[in-house]
Amino acid sequence: VQLVESGGGLVQPGGSLRLSCAVSGITFDDYAIGWFRLAPGKAHEGVSCVSRRDLSRAYADSVKGRFTISSDNAKNTVYLQMNSLKPEDTAVYYCVAREDYQEYCGGYGFNEYTYYGQGTQVTVSS
């Protein structure tokens, strides 16, 4: 199983980035896929997730209205479109996956996922 993130980088406040998570080795339709982030000195924070077959999506309050998660089943890829970025969004972003048959994915902590990507750095700074 592999989760490969891409799309991180340095962006000015107010800018946008799109993260991608290419997933292989699993039956995509049976998995919840999420994004967590880890900022220096802080614990892992759940950012967003999409349940199996895109039945539902969940967002942290801190990113609602600015971030959008989406999935492309044909490409086994999940995206995180991040707009109106703020310095406090600076973190390493991790893609995570777990086999899950629930319609709602927002209640799982970082350690409750099974597979993890290597992380991609997002830095928001002027």
- Residue of 42, 46, 49, 83 lying closest to 66 (CA atoms): 83
Beta partners for residue 67, in sequence order = 82
Bridge-based pairing of strands 57-59 and 67-72 is unpaired
CB 19 within 8 A of CB 120: yes
* Six token digits for residue 53: 């077959």
CA distance 101 to 45: 23
CB 32 within 8 A of CB 50: yes
CB 125 within 8 A of CB 87: yes
CA distance 22 to 71: 10
Provide the pLDDT for residue 102.
Answer: 87
Q: List the pLDDT tens digit at each of the 126 positions of the chain.
A: 999 999 999 999 999 999 999 999 998 889 999 999 999 999 999 999 999 888 899 999 999 999 999 999 999 999 999 999 999 999 999 999 999 988 899 989 999 999 999 999 999 999
